Structure 1
Amino acid sequence: MTTHQVLEFTLEEEQYCIDIEYVTEVVSRSKNDVTPIPDSPPHVEGEFDLRGETTRVIDPRARLLPDGHEENGVSKDRIIVFDTERTTGGRSGWAVTDVLQILTIDPESVEAVDEEKINGILAREDGRIVWIEPELISTET
């Protein structure tokens, strides 16, 4: 039986996870660190310099909830930075509320859903976690 390690994080009050193999690092964020990009898609907050390399900042809420997304002042204190060889569009990171932990999961215990951005739903005693596909969230289209 194959297991996966996933990084659990929050966007506002909701819990999500992604395969840890996509993640390079998690960094703290300051609002002043991110420079807006003119005429960028709604899910692109801007970019910032991470140790000399430009990193695009994506708001995954805009891709997961395109109809209900609005900037509501919710704190996004962490940026999950992705491995550039595993994601599309160059180096990028997601602005998230918080990063919680790394979990080991059995993919057979994941409830399948009919949505291309979502790998499935993990049920836990304290709620559910949505397992999302980062390549589809980070793309420019």
Structure 2
Amino acid sequence: MEGRIQLNQSNGILLESGTNELEIVEFEVANNKFGINVIKVKEIIQPTTVIPIPHSHPHVKGIVQLRGEVLPVVDMARVLGVAEEETAKSKYIVAEFNQQKVIFHVHNVTQIHRISWNQIEKPSEMYSGVQSGIIGVIKRNESMILLLDFESIMLEINPETGIRVEQVRKLGKRERMNKRIVAAEDSPLLRKLLNDTLKEAGYEDVEFFENGADAFYFLETLVEGNKDLKESVHLVLTDIEMPQMDGHHLTKRIKNHPKLKNLPVIIFSSLITNDLKHKGEVVGAEDQISKPEIAELILKIDKYIL
């Protein structure tokens, strides 16, 4: 295929872990600017022949064969409710997260930006929420780049890829009322799913935060108030991609804090792959679980706080 762009660790594009920086691929749909984390992107290719699939989800254009793999093609114009378009600038973004590969059809791919997570503003309550699909806003000069919730996009298309409470029910009746968890997760939809499944697992005392900065401030305030951390919080659960402070930097801050360093941290993210697991190890996370392996997550929580 012509015009293929590889994005991987070998070309040095991925950043050192714990710096609270990320690189995003900026792309356009109907002249609006959006972003996807470089870590999610395997390559960018020119559009190729798509085979339609009868009765598939409306957002799915069809399937393509890419080096022996059959991958679904999601049309981002359909996802965003704008006019579909096929031009000379159209691109296919080949992505991998949540243990799945998918291709996103966009109208143009423009550039890559290196930014800090604290430059990403959380969406206003007027347009955020479970259904908005926007997890962050980046202001650049006179324009804005919107970071989309790709996990939620794929969850709508295929609910089987999400956190499923029935996996936890198989663990049997459980009582964990005396254990308190601090959880950092920016997606409203995933916060709700996580809350429901943790309750099913017996963990009813969960304090949720929209980003790592708020979670760290809460923890730091607890220990500065001379609270006994062992009595206040038993474990931290964190996503990686979050505005203000990402999960790797949150873990690093906790492990470098003299009063917080013994607090177990589990990273629960769609970005946990064999290629990227070392990033969590470097910052000192006790464990890393890939979404949506919720049953495995519960067993790991049991291991570190019971």
Aligned to 2:195: none
**Could you say what secondary structure the match of 1:102 adopts?**
strand
Work out which of the two has the higher radius of gyration on C-alpha atoms and give 1 or 2. Answer: 2
**Could you say what secondary structure the match of 2:53 adopts?**
coil
Q: Is the 8 A contact 1:60 1:138 kept in 2?
A: no
Aligned to 1:130: 146
**Could you say what secondary structure the match of 1:21 adopts?**
helix
- Normalised by the size of structure 1, how large is the TM-score? 0.83
Pair 1:60 & 2:76 matched: yes
Give 2:94's aligned amino acid.
V
- Distance, in Å, in 1 between the alignment partners of 2:76 and 2:107 is 11
Q: Is the 8 A contact 2:58 2:78 kept in 1?
A: yes
- Normalised by the size of structure 2, how large is the TM-score? 0.40
Shift of 1:61: 2.7
Aligned to 2:129: 115
- Distance, in Å, in 1 between the alignment partners of 2:83 and 2:91 is 19
Give 2:121's aligned amino acid.
E
Q: Which runs of 5+ in 2 are unaligned?
A: 1-18, 159-306
Aligned to 2:98: 87
Shift of 1:111: 2.0
- Larger strand percent: 1
Aligned 1:1-141 pairs, distance under 5 A: 2-30=20-48, 33-65=49-81, 69-71=82-84, 73-75=85-87, 77-83=90-96, 86-87=97-98, 90-113=100-123, 114-116=128-130, 117-139=133-155, 140-141=157-158
Residues 127-136 or 108-117, more deviating: 108-117
- Distance, in Å, in 2 between the alignment partners of 1:91 and 1:108 is 29
- Distance, in Å, in 2 between the alignment partners of 1:129 and 1:136 is 18
The count of residues paired between Structure 1 and Structure 2 equals 132
Taking a change above 3 Å as real, the CA distance of residues 87 and 78 of structure 1, as seen in their structure-2 partners, is farther
**Could you say what secondary structure the match of 2:121 adopts?**
coil
Deviation track 1:36-70 (CA, whole Å, cap 9, x = no partner) reads: 110011100001111111010001232233xxx45
Alpha-carbon RMSD: 1.9
- Distance, in Å, in 1 between the alignment partners of 2:63 and 2:22 is 30
- Distance, in Å, in 2 between the alignment partners of 1:137 and 1:50 is 22
Shift of 1:91: 2.3
Q: Which has the higher contact order (CA 8 A, sep 6+)?
A: 1
Give 1:77's aligned amino acid.
S
Q: Is the 8 A contact 1:36 1:45 kept in 2?
A: yes
- Distance, in Å, in 1 between the alignment partners of 2:47 and 2:27 is 15
- Distance, in Å, in 2 between the alignment partners of 1:41 and 1:121 is 28
